[in-house]
Amino acid sequence: MEIKKLKKINDYEWEIPPRGEMRVPGRVFASQDLIEDMDDKVYEQVTNVACLPGIVRASIAMPDAHWGYGFPIGGVAAFDPDEGGIISVGGVGYDISCGVRTLRTGLKREEVLPVLERLVDELFETVPSGVGSEGEIRLSPQKLDEVLVGGARWAVEKGYGEPEDLEYIEEKGCLPGADPSCVSMEAKRRQHRQVGTLGSGNHYLEIQYVAEVYDRKIAEAFGLEKDDVVITIHCGSRALGHQIATDYLQVLAKASRKYGIPIKEKELVCAPIRSPEGEKYFKAMACGVNCALANRQVITHLVREVINAFFKHARVTLLYDVSHNTCKVEVHEIDGKPRRLYVHRKGATRAWGPGRKELPEAYREVGQPVIIGGSMGTASYILAGTEEGEKKAFGSACHGAGRTMSRHQALKRFRGERVIDDLRKRGIIVRAKSKRGAAEEAPEAYKDVTQVIEATCRAGLTRKVVKLLPLGCIKG
């Protein structure tokens, strides 16, 4: 992205001044180096989103932003239904409620290292992964409807987890407003055996350890100490979410024409929040969110079984589960007044600061855990949300490192076997369903996650709490 197109606010905050049909400015949170590495398409997409009806304050891009469908990945925008605000498939993405969940194990690194390879093998065998992967849970469309309404609560009620898990999941494990009648039979058919599966692409299950503690007070509140072993799960709503997005792109394309909403890019199709089409998409999207929360909950149950088979004294507890492809109804203060907004986060993580009543009591004083995954073989981070981030970006942060190469480019440059061998030499055990997938996810295909985290924290959106390094990784 050309830096000369932007107005510098400070070293980590930049503005795209309103022009033409833009209703609000664009806002990019990043260092100059990260901005210069961004595709020009990010600038274009941030600008296009700023033209949408009912947008509030700014069209926002995070430090890991890169080109996406309609919205940039790493894009945030909030819309006011009282001002004709819209809801957009492109603002949520295809993998609805793709997100991350980190589990504490109560184990230390030195306990796990002697059995690491066997542990990774057992997790790889137990948690289904890869394209089209299927689990043991078979659900008829009627039974799947219970999942789409109940989310992680459904999973806990069926014995996949513990009731206290729900306290540490966004929306306490279930997004209200879901209506399975708004989800096509094709979407339900495709999800028949995918609850409790990891999937492919950038999804993973990773054994990590706390390599560095930056903020002892917050780390203590999060129950983390140096050398603690944690397990992070990254996946979403699988085929169901993808099909919902595919179905509603067509619905909202017609709605855009019907309501006379000018569209700059075909994946930016949208409908007024208070239209039949907009309401129907929100209800279907909520089903996708609940499907993803149930999915991660079932995987948590499988992980617990494996860990407890290896370590009888282990106590696997949920640190937090947060999504980064959603549209949520949230109250934010705008010009001194609380307003109920529809906040789209596409490849961006909710990052609420201290004091929000929606947070678990254990975290309310310090802010929400913000879990940021790096690329395969690099560091991940756990951050905490800030009040400043709520004011600047509706309580949002980055979601990962952000790609610098397309999957196609990565395949041309890397071989899966070589990627896995190189990581093994560094002491990281990788099991991948597909060598092609390992090549696509080579660490070098991503930005430097440490630079992204530094920019996110220096912009005031989050605080650094701990750094995690990988021991073993399972990929689709």
Catalytic residues: 399
203 assigned binding-site residue: yes
31 assigned binding-site residue: no
| Beta strands, E only, 30-98 | 55-66, 73-79, 86-88
379 assigned binding-site residue: no
Q: How many helices (H) and strands (E) does the chain have?
A: 15, 19
325 assigned binding-site residue: yes
123 assigned binding-site residue: no
324 assigned binding-site residue: yes
351 assigned binding-site residue: no
H-assigned helices in 339-467? 387-393, 407-413, 416-425, 435-440, 449-458
Residue 139 near residue 243, CB atoms below 8 Å: no
- Three-point CA angle 248, 236, 42, nearest 5°: 65
204 assigned binding-site residue: yes
- 3-state class of 433 per DSSP? coil
C-alpha 45/C-alpha 16 separation (Å) is 11
Structure tokens at 69: 């469908």
205 assigned binding-site residue: yes
380 assigned binding-site residue: yes
20 assigned binding-site residue: no
- Strand pairing class (462-475; 429-432): parallel
62 assigned binding-site residue: no
Look at the alpha carbons of 339, 358, 217, 379 in this order and tell me if their dihedral is positive or negative: negative
Burial 157-191 (b: 16+ CB within 10 A, else e): ebebbeeebbebbbbbbbbeebbbebbeeebbebb
Query: Integer distance in angstroms from the first to the last C-alpha of the chain?
Result: 32
Residue 63 near residue 94, CB atoms below 8 Å: no
374 assigned binding-site residue: yes
Annotated binding site for GMP: 202-206, 324-325, 373-376, 380, 399-402, 475
* Residue list, annotated binding site: 95, 202-206, 234, 324-325, 373-376, 380, 399-402, 475
Binding-site residues for Mn(2+), in ranges, read 95, 203, 234, 324
